A and B are shown apart, each in its own frame.
Chain A
Amino acid sequence: MQRILTLSALLLIAHSLFGQSRNLDISGTVVDTLGAPLPLSTVLLLDPVDTTLISYTRADEQGRFLLKNQKRTSALVKISYVGYMPRIIHIDPQTSGDIDIGEIRLEEIAKDLFEVVVKAAKAPMSIRGDTIEYDASKFKVAPGSSVEDLLRRLPGIEVGQDGGITAEGQAVTRVTVDGKRFFGNDPKTATKNLPAEGVKKVQVFDEQSEEEKLTGASSTPPEKTMNLELKDEFKKGGFGKIIAGAGTEERAELKGNFNKFNDKEQFSIIGIGNNTGRNGLSWDDYQDFRGSQSFNWDDDGDFGFGSGGGYIIRYGGDEGDDDIGDIENSFFGDQSAGFPRNIQGGLNYTYAHEKTDLNAVYFFDRSQLMAEATRNQQNFLPDATYTNQDISSQDNTNMGHRVQFRIEQKIDSLNTLVFNANGVLNQRDNLNDGTYRYFRSNNQLSNFTQFDNRFQQDARYLTGSLIYRKKFKKKGRSLGWSGAYFVNDSEQTGTQSSINEFYDDSGALDSTLVIEQQIDAVGLRQQVKSSAIYVEPFGKRWYWQTFYNYNLRLESVDRDVADVVQDLPAPNDFLSRYYDNRIDLHRLGTSLRYSYKGINISAGLARQEFQLEGDFRSGPSGMIDTVIRRTFPNWIPNVNMSIDLKRNRYLDGGYVVTAREPSMRNLQPVIDNSNPLFIREGNPNLIPQIDHNIRMSFRRFSPATFTNLFTNINFRIVENAFVQEQTVDSLLVTNSRTINYKGGQSLWASVSYGFPIVKNKFTINLNYSYSWNKRFALVNAVENETFSNGHWTNLRLNVTPGDRFTLYLSGRFNLTDTKYSINAEQNQQLFNQTYSVDLNTILVWGIFANIHFDYDIYQNDRFGFNQDVPILSASLYKVLFPNKRGEIRLSGYDLLNRNLGVNQFATANIVSETRTTTLARYAMLSFTYNLQGIETSLKKNRGWW
């Protein structure tokens, strides 16, 4: 052992002896200007070409240093000591011998400069030769100050009474901005006029003038030049585009948007008009319009169990579902089948700076939809079946103005306030006419109705909410409070006219009912809600959370219905309704959560109580003749779990219970026969429906192999389900009433798997979903149990071999198997298939082509219902102008002219299919001008964030 050590030591010595003949030692002593040693100075050996660090050492207590065994090439020795100007010494070794630099004197950096710049302002200081530069933006000046005010604060720079500048004792005769001259040569022009806020760096140089640089002559004494380097305004920008198109079948579209933004402000404007139903508005457009306000997650003040278990309190009430909605809906709203005509536009302004975030939006939306639909429906009674055939046409127009205002103010690092206000003016105009035909099982006509309904509504909505969030010094402890007020008032006027003919079993006319009604309604809805939450941490892993929600809803409706007899209205007391509702909700909940290193599990329980109070009057100011007072207390448990299993595997699950209170409309003991074929009756004995939801999901993504797997399973059990109890009389008039009945169950499970066959060239995604559910219906006092099994299979292939060709293929198969406990002969299978092909390529002369083919096949053999809808669309486009800013495009939509809206469904006792005539074949020539340039990549579905 000892021998080996000696041997290796010998080898080492030999090596270093041998090395010494080529390499050299560099030594020296670091001292200050008075010759006192500067101990422990840092000595760096640098490559003279690019200052690459070759070696380094430190001086000893006496300031002596030794860089041993260095390569024999020229080098820089840089010596630095805190507070002193570093020195760089160029060495050029001879062919042999060591280098002793001797005494190296370091000069002290002017003390005030060093102390002020580096120590106090914490600004980086750069030392190049004899010149010092530093970051001026670190020296705080009052907002609105000029550069001159800034300069006064900088060490080493003096500003005279007249604005004359001296730096390090010498006059500054020239001021440049970003290296360029600023309005002539008077240095004061720049320093007096430029705002200090915009300046990033101040540099003072001993530089020669441009003239001197060119001629090399120096006729004047050296001047100081000051350069102001402006802040590069990252985040400043603007973009916009406009698309205009004209087509056959009187189709046209126009769409434009423009944005301008900097680090504080964002402004955007958007406008769309078309009669194609293809708004072309996407998530991207929404984000471009709303900018930093696209996602305000914290605006939900309805504190609850937290992720997944939150109880959502809707603004809506009983009377119609015309919710105030969100701007998003205008961007993502589905275009129904039919012939649409849309105009939309809006302005968005955001100011966000330091602690304030302010946003204001205006949006206008007018949409019109004309459609003609045919519906065929089979209805099963315990002992019979009847069918109905409806042909209707509608012309609906909806117009709204919306103003939205939001301000978020951070009071300090622990306290935040968010205020939101929304106002909407809305006008609706609906026109609906057509015929209903009902047939008995023997195909004999039992009823014929011809109707014409018109309806107009003017509504105003206003909401205001305030959210206060407080964090505490103790990490994890937090408090939240919210309060909100909502008001909506509306006026409706409408007419309902119909002629109803009823035929008896033999086919003879039994009776005729003529309805001519005029409806005038005014409604006022108000909502006040307030919530509070408190979270207290225990140790590093446990949190205890308590919340309280209060929600008060007030509704008052005066609905006058008059029968028009020979042009004279006579009040219809039976259908007129006058009522005031008050619904109170109190909910107090608590939960315990474990949160540590990717494991988040919580369990909690809430007690909630609905108090319903309804006063129903016989006339607008009449006596109260019916009073409903109901209280529904419920226990609401909640379990939520999320576990990060490592290696990109996640497991989530939960158990959520929700209690749905009965609607006032269903509680009201009033008979509604506004549709003489479908008479509704209230049920004052209703209690809330309770839904138990259990969910579990597992997901995994492998970034190395680009494969992903998602599985989901959801199970729902319904207690006291709201079920329609219907009786159908011999004239096929349905009487319907909501009751609580033993609930159904449903299961939904899905698995998706995606993987590349050839990485980045050929990818497959597979998805299979299964659903099962059991529902009940009561028809003529007989329970009909419906089981339905659904299978969905989805296969997607992405073929992206290169930049010039992409192909996306997909196939979807859906089989729904429905079985009934009564009328088992009606058991049926719906089979829908959808195939889709999307092909993109570049043809000759830079012309791009896109071909899109969707093929829908609807099949229901039991009812002989089969429908194919093949839709083929194609477009050719060419990019124009420098920077790809222009595009001209020729598109053909539905080239086969086969478009049709199809909808089919089967419930407990109904099988229905609807076909809606829809805008079909047309061609369009459109032109786009986009400041950002046209996107020409043929790939889609990019994961970019």
Chain B
Amino acid sequence: MRSIYSLFLLILGTVSLCGQNVSGEITYERTSYWVRIMEELPYLSQAEKDRATLTWGSDDGYSSNYILRFTANESSYTHDETAATSEDNGWAWRKDDYLIHRDLQNMRRTDWMEMLDRTYLVEDDLQFPKWKIRTEIKDIQGYVCMSAETWDTIKNQHIIAWFTDEIPVPVGPEMLCGLPGAILEMEVNGGALIVTATKIDLKPMPDGVGLPKRMKGKKIDLAQYQDLIRTYLKDSVGAERNPYWSIRY
């Protein structure tokens, strides 16, 4: 018993020994392409899709910055407030309530997010998505990344993630996690949404990821969240209205 326990400690120790790389901050640029998103809307006619491509196709990427703070035990992903100075000619948009917390030690998820008219706090057990490992490797910000893919069956999204085993923590941007290394880039449905790391700052995080004191919201569990999204997507398509104005793509 004691020996198993010490073995466990030993393993933990090895992880943290090689552990200069297991905490820090990663800044991501999240870019969504509206024309590509529109192309997925089943109720649009070819004429409407062509028109959107013609009008906005060459220039429709909308970018904003996010930051992922992580340690070996937890991660939090939220708006990058250091870039608070507004980009749009001095106009400051309000940023929605959004923080994705992953507790890797107790395997709990907390998604604090504003959608559909209110702020929700989704709390549930953390289950990693089902990942398929692909054959490509590529370099992102000096890190060699391997590729994996998964499917979001609720939003009907095919997600490709690039993770690096040089940062051996199963964390990632948006709601992604569970790969043998930090996810430095993700691509949804062939490029409708691309989130890519622009700055990687590995450093000790002695105080953890630093959650905000107040994360108020209506508490729901994962199943309820999925139900909400599923119903809303169905209604929006029925109403022939782009759903992604009110929820994240």
Question: How many of chain A's residues touch chain B, expressed as a range?
Answer: 35 or more
**Interface residue B27 (Cβ < 8 Å from any Cβ of A):** no
- Nearest to B48 among chain A residues (CB) is A944
Q: How many whole Å from A909's CB to the nearest CB in chain B?
A: 46
Q: How far is the CB of A187 from chain B (nearest CB, A)?
A: 26
Q: Are A598 and B92 in contact (CB under 8 A)?
A: yes
Are B54 and A600 touching (Cβ within 8 A)? no
- Residue of A307, A545, A760, A933 ringed by the most chain B CB atoms within 10 A: A760
Confirm or deny: A786 has a beta carbon within 8 angstroms of a beta carbon on chain B. no
User: Is B55 an interface position by the 8 A CB rule?
Assistant: yes
Q: Given A42-B165, A292-B59, A942-B240, A595 and B133 touching (CB < 8 A)?
A: no
Binds A, one of B64-72, B99-107, B138-146, B200-208: B138-146
Is A706 among interface residues, defined by CB-CB distance under 8 A? yes
Also in contact, A478 and B89, with CB within 8 A (given A80-B165, A597-B95, A760-B235): yes
Q: Which chain A residues border B48 with CB–CB below 8 Å?
A: 944
Cβ of B211: which chain A residues have Cβ within 8 Å of it? none
- In angstroms, how far is the closest chain A Cβ from the Cβ of B248? 12
- One digit per residue, 1 when the CB lies within 8 angstroms of any chain B CB and 0 when it does not, for chain A 23-61 equals 000000000000000001010101000111100111011
Among residues of A, the one whose C-beta sits closest to the C-beta of B243 is A703
Q: Which of B91, B132, B245 contacts A703 (CB 8 A)?
A: B245
Tell me if A702 and B117 are in contact (CB < 8 A).
yes
Instruction: List chain B residues, Cβ under 8 A from A596.
Output: 84, 92
Q: Which residues of B contact A703 (CB under 8 A)?
A: 116-117, 232, 236, 245-247
Contact B55 A644 (CB under 8 A): no
Smallest CB-CB separation from B90: which chain A residue? Answer: A543
Contacts of B44 in A (CB 8 A): 944
Q: Are A13 and B1 in contact (CB under 8 A)?
A: yes
List chain A residues, Cβ under 8 A from B38: 944-945
Asked whether, in the complex, the Cβ of B117 is within 8 Å of the Cβ of A78, the reply is no
Q: Shortest distance in angstroms between B104's beta carbon and chain A's nearest beta carbon?
A: 14
| In the complex, chain B residues whose CB is within 8 Å of the CB of A58 | 15, 18, 165, 168, 180
Shortest beta-carbon distance from B41 to chain A in Å: 7
In the complex, how many residues of chain B place their beta carbon closer than 8 angstroms to a beta carbon of chain A? 72
- Chain B residues contacting A83 (CB-CB under 8 Å) are 144
A292 to B56, CA, bound (A): 6
1/0 per residue, CB under 8 A from B, across A541-567: the answer is 101010000000000000000000000
B152 at the interface (CB under 8 A from A): no
A706 to B116, CA, bound (A): 10
* Option from B53, B137, B232 in Cβ contact (under 8 Å) with A125: B137
Pick the contact of A932 from B4, B50, B179 — CB < 8 Å?
Answer: B50
Question: How far apart are the CA atoms of A595 and B144 in the complex, in Å?
Answer: 40
> Is B239 a contact of A760 with CB atoms below 8 Å?
yes
Which residues of B lie under 8 Å from residue A126 when comparing CB positions?
A: 134-137
The yes or no answer to A935 lying at the interface (CB within 8 A) is yes
A window 261-292: CB within 8 A of B: 261, 263, 266, 284, 287-288, 290-292
Residue A213 CB within 8 A of the other chain: no
A644 to B92, CA, bound (A): 10
Whether A632 sits at the interface, judged by CB under 8 Å, is: no
C-alpha gap A37/B84 in the complex (Å): 47
User: Is B61 an interface position by the 8 A CB rule?
Assistant: no
Q: Mark A466-483, 1 if CB is under 8 A from B, else 0.
A: 000000000110100000
Minimum distance in angstroms from A119 CB to a CB of chain B: 6
Complex Cα distance, B3 from A151, in Å, reads: 59
Q: How far is the CA of A125 from the CA of B46 in the complex (A)?
A: 35
Q: For the complex, give the distance between the alpha carbons of A647 and B238 in Å.
A: 23
Q: A537 within 8 Å of B by Cβ?
A: yes
Known: A52-B132, A53-B133, A80-B165. A944 touches B90 (CB 8 A): no
Partner among A40, A290, A704, A930 whose Cβ is within 8 Å of the Cβ of B116:
A704
| B86 close to A (CB within 8 Å) | yes
Q: Which residues of A contact B84 (CB under 8 A)?
A: 540, 596-597
Query: Do residues A704 and B51 form an inter-chain contact, with CB atoms below 8 A?
Result: no
Instruction: Known contacts A287-B51, A647-B118, A932-B45; decide if A118 and B131 are in contact (CB<8 Å).
Output: no
CA distance A292 to B51 in the complex (A): 9
Q: Which of A123, A239, A703 has the most CB of B within 10 A?
A: A703
Given contacts A266-B54, A944-B43, list 19 more A-B pairs with CB under 8 A.
A42-B181, A82-B144, A122-B140, A125-B138, A126-B134, A127-B136, A237-B50, A237-B54, A259-B54, A294-B55, A478-B90, A597-B94, A598-B92, A703-B245, A760-B235, A933-B45, A937-B45, A942-B240, A944-B44
Cross-chain pairs A/B with CB under 8 angstroms, 29 sampled: A51-B132, A51-B133, A58-B18, A80-B146, A118-B137, A118-B139, A119-B139, A122-B139, A127-B137, A235-B58, A237-B53, A239-B47, A291-B55, A352-B58, A475-B85, A541-B92, A595-B86, A595-B90, A595-B91, A595-B92, A597-B84, A597-B94, A648-B117, A704-B116, A760-B239, A932-B47, A942-B241, A943-B241, A945-B52
Binding site for A on B (CB under 8 A): 1, 4, 14-15, 18, 34, 38, 41, 43-48, 50-59, 84-87, 89-95, 114, 116-118, 130-140, 144, 146-148, 165-166, 168, 178-181, 232, 235-236, 238-242, 245-247
